[in-house]
Amino acid sequence: MSEREVNEVNPNHPVTQAVHDHWHKIAALLVQKLGGSALITSDDVLALGVDKAVTVQELSDGLHVRIISLSEGEKLAKIHGGLPE
C-alpha cells in the first residue's frame, strides 16, 4: 500500500479539533459496530481513491461519520469557516 497524505480541510472547526487526536478510538468504535473485526486490503485502499474526505458532524444523537468527495468537503469547509472564500 502506498502512503497518502491526509489533511484536515477544516482544522479550526470545534468538532475537527475535538476528534483530532481520537481517530484510533473512532476507528475502534467503527470496527466494534462491524462485529469486532474488519479486513482492509490494498485493493480497498486503492478503490477509495484520493478524492475523498471524511466528515464528522456532532448531532444530538452522537457523531455522524461520512465519506464524501473532496470537493464537497472543501465546499463544506468554506461554509463552516475552514477555508477562505
Residue 61 domain boundaries: 14-79
Question: Is 53 a member of any domain?
Answer: yes
Distance CA 52, CA 58 (A): 20
Question: Is 69 a member of any domain?
Answer: yes
Alpha helices (runs of H) in the chain, residue ranges in sequence order: 14-19, 23-33, 42-48, 70-79
Question: Is 6 a member of any domain?
Answer: no
Q: What is this structure's pTM?
A: 0.75
pLDDT band at 83 (very low <50, low <70, confident <90, very high): low
Question: Is 9 a member of any domain?
Answer: no
Distance CA 57, CA 49 (A): 22
Q: How many domains would you assign to the chain?
A: 1
Are 77 and 83 contacting, i.e. CB atoms less than 8 angstroms apart? yes
For residue 3, pLDDT beyond 70: no
pLDDT tens per residue, range 17-38? 899 899 999 999 999 999 999 9
pLDDT tens per residue, range 37-62? 999 999 998 998 888 888 999 999 99
Please give the grid coordinates belonging to residue 85. Answer: 472564500
Q: Please provide the average confidence, as pLDDT, over all residues in the chain.
A: 86
Distance CA 2, CA 20 (A): 23
